[in-house]
């Protein structure tokens, strides 16, 4: 897994933040939406990218996070451009193990 990808996700939420299970779930939902948007950008299909981008302007997104949608969209676009420059065609969220051994996908 690229350190750049991990840092991109961490930069959205911070590295050592204590959070509730509900906030962890919200972060996973937003992270998956960001990954879907990055992959849509990498696909080269502007309709698909616009469709994925629309989520960030919904009330549900605003309920899930205080992260400004324009900031997240800009970071996703930057990530997609960097991956495209490296010849990558797919973005995958990093996975890590929590201290209790369970897979933690936040």
Say what the pTM is.
0.73
The distance from CA 1 to its chain's CA centroid, rounded to whole angstroms, is 15
95 burial level (CB within 10 Å; 0-12, 13-18, 19+):
exposed
The 10s digit of each residue's pLDDT in 9-60 is 666 655 555 667 888 888 889 999 999 999 999 999 999 999 999 999 999 9
Q: Could you tell me the pLDDT band of residue 94, with boundaries at 50, 70 and 90?
A: confident
- CB-CB neighbours of 25 under 10 Å: 13
Task: Measure the CA–CA gap between 77 and 22, rounded to whole angstroms.
Answer: 27
Domain boundaries, the chain: 3-104
């Amino acid at each position: 897994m690229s350190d750049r990808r991990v840092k991109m996700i961490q930069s959205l939420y911070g590295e050592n933040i204590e959070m509730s299970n509900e906030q962890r779930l919200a972060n996973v939902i937003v992270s998956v939406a960001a990954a879907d948007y990055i992959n849509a950008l990498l696909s080269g299909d502007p309709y698909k990218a616009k469709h994925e981008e629309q989520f960030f302007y919904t009330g549900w997104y605003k309920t899930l996070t205080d992260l400004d949608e324009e900031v997240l969209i800009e970071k996703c676009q930057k990530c997609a451009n960097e991956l495209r420059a490296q010849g990558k065609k797919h973005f995958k969220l990093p996975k890590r193990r929590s201290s209790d051994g369970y897979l933690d996908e936040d």
